[in-house]
């Protein structure tokens, strides 16, 4: 059986779009790492929920259809993220499902490494 793939697009603050093919079951952080996306400082803590550099902003409709809500740890970390919005999540906590095909997320202009 072929691996299931979904399309995910990262929109950078300058409007540049990075389109990727991602595996179902990967997190958005995995997608950035596996595709070698050039997003400075992204995912500094490697998904251990201690940095908030993997902050992404989702469209409202996508935010609402994510299978999992943010846990307390993610919320705490998001509070420290630069440019927090109502539809912000941490990329390392979003696991791709088939339903999320075509997902488009924005990467904020500045990232704040909560560890520093």
The C-alpha atoms of residue 29 and residue 14 are separated, in whole angstroms, by 20
Q: Tell which one of 51, 56, 66, 96 touches ligand FES (CB under 6 A).
A: 51
* By the rule CB under 6 A, 47 interacts with ligand FES: yes
* By the rule CB under 6 A, 88 interacts with ligand FES: no
Minimum gap (Å) between residue 43 Cβ and ligand FES: 4
Q: Tell me which residue has its CB nearest to ligand FES.
A: 92
* By the rule CB under 6 A, 108 interacts with ligand FES: no
For residue 107, the tally of other CB atoms under 10 A from its CB is: 22
The C-alpha atoms of residue 26 and residue 93 are separated, in whole angstroms, by 10
3-state helix, strand, coil in the chain (%, to 5): 25, 25, 55
Q: Which residues in this chain contact ligand FES in the complex, by CB under 6 A?
A: 29, 43-45, 47, 49-54, 77, 90, 92
């Amino acid at each position: 059986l072929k691996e299931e793939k979904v399309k995910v697009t990262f929109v950078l603050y300058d409007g540049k779009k990075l389109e990727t093919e991602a595996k179902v079951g990967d997190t958005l952080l995995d997608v950035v790492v596996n595709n070698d996306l050039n997003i400075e400082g992204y995912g500094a803590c490697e998904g251990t929920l201690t940095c908030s550099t993997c902050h992404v902003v989702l469209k409202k409709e996508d935010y609402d259809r994510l299978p999992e809500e943010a846990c307390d740890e993610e919320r705490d970390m998001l509070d420290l993220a630069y440019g927090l919005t109502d539809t912000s999540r941490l990329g390392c906590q979003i696991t791709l499902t088939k339903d999320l095909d075509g997902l488009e997320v924005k990467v904020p202009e500045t990232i704040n490494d909560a560890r520093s």
